[in-house]
Amino acid sequence: MKFSKSLSILLLGALAVACSTNPFTGKQTLALVPNSQILPMAFQQYQEFLSEHKVVNNTADARMVKSVGQKIAAAAERYLTANGYAGYLADYRWEYNLVDSKEVNAWCMPGGKIVVYTGILPITKDEAGLAAVMGHEVAHALANHGQQRMSAAQLQQVGAVAGNIALANNPENQQIFNTAYGLGTNVGVMLPFSRSHETEADHIGLILMAIAGYEPAVAAELWQRMQAQENGNTPPEFLSTHPSSSTRIQNIQAWAPEARAEARKFGVTNFKR
């Protein structure tokens, strides 16, 4: 009893200093593992993933992935700078790669390392649909959702190892990173984010795609197409981590005017469909 009380006090101390602010919501989030540790791990895992998979280069689709990715990244930079977070992306090393795979999937690792699988392109259908997916995935990275999952894993582990809270230099961080991102045995297969993280990524993603010049209402159409895939024999990998639902689609429809209004602040008046 006495021991667990002192552990709690230690933990509270760690929590007090280990938070970061989500620049989109203003909310404080748990950041027990700093980005200075997460990003190098992400960059290394990304390189390994690319070396083990067939990266598509110099096709129209590969060029579209890079071009949409660059526009989403630029939108993030503009939004953050305008909202007092200039420098937030200083450690980002954006990369946008199309990988040849039947899997219906896409993800963005911390630090802006994006993979789109060729298997998702029939569902994203066009540039605006792809912008909806990439905006959503980038939003998870910008909001540090993976970092929060790592922090939750850290807390569990701290409990397990009884008081060893040298968090920032924890040699187990690599393992926790792999678990949080579903890496290791299944490289690139993310664990599902929580429903609140999904909702947050939908909201932020819409703003990003609108500032990038894409019609945000297209995102609702994209999720409707996803939903139509759900009943097939092999539901897309993407849907196992991003379940489509009528609530999600309704939210996106309701937020679309707000996303367009946000984009107009940046001089965007045309929204490509």
Size of interface with Zn ion, in residues (CB under 5 A): 3
Q: Confirm if 78 and 61 have CB atoms less than 8 A apart.
A: no
149 binds Zn ion, rule: CB under 5 A: no
Among 78, 113, 242, 248, binds Zn ion (CB under 5 A): 242
Give Cα 21 to chain centroid, integer Å: 16
Going residue by residue from 53 to 72, which x/- string records binding to Zn ion, judged by CB under 5 A? --------------------
CB of 201 to Zn ion, least distance (A): 5
Residue 107 backbone phi and psi in degrees, to 5? -155, 165
For Zn ion, the closer of residues 139 and 153 by Cβ is 139
Nearer to Zn ion, 11 or 129 (CB): 129
- Of 56 and 212, nearer to Zn ion (C-beta) is 212
At residue 154, the 3 state secondary structure works out as helix
Judged on CB neighbours under 10 Å (0-12, 13-18, 19+), 13 is exposed
Q: How far is the CB of 227 from Zn ion (least distance, A)?
A: 15
Is there a contact between 167 and 32 (Cβ–Cβ < 8 Å)? Answer: yes
137 catalytic? Reply is: yes
Short-list 66, 150, 78, CA closest to 114: 66
The first and second tokens of residue 266, run together, are 């940046």
Question: Which one from 52, 77, 127, 137 is the annotated catalytic residue?
Answer: 137
Is residue 201 at the binding interface for Zn ion, with CB under 5 A as the rule?
A: yes
HSE-up of 223 (CA within 13 Å, CB side)?
22
- Which two three-digit tokens encode residue 164? 């060893």
Minimum gap (Å) between residue 235 Cβ and Zn ion: 16
Of 65 and 167, nearer to Zn ion (C-beta) is: 65
Scanning 9-17, 25-33, 84-92, 239-247 for contacts with Zn ion by CB under 5 A, the matching segment is 239-247
Q: What is the dihedral of CA 62, 38, 17, 176, to 10 degrees?
A: 120
Q: Which is nearer to Zn ion, 165 or 252 (CB)?
A: 252
Pick the stretch among 57-65, 69-77, 171-179, 234-242 that binds Zn ion (CB under 5 A): 234-242
What's 51-97 look like in SS3? HHCCEECCCHHHHHHHHHHHHHHHHHHHHHHHCCCCCCCCCCCCEEE
Q: Does 248 bind Zn ion (CB under 5 A)?
A: no
Q: Which stretch binds Zn ion (CB under 5 A): 19-27, 76-84, 119-127, 238-246?
A: 238-246
Minimum gap (Å) between residue 76 Cβ and Zn ion: 16
Q: Which residues are catalytic?
A: 137
Q: Which residues bind Zn ion (CB under 5 A)?
A: 198, 201, 242
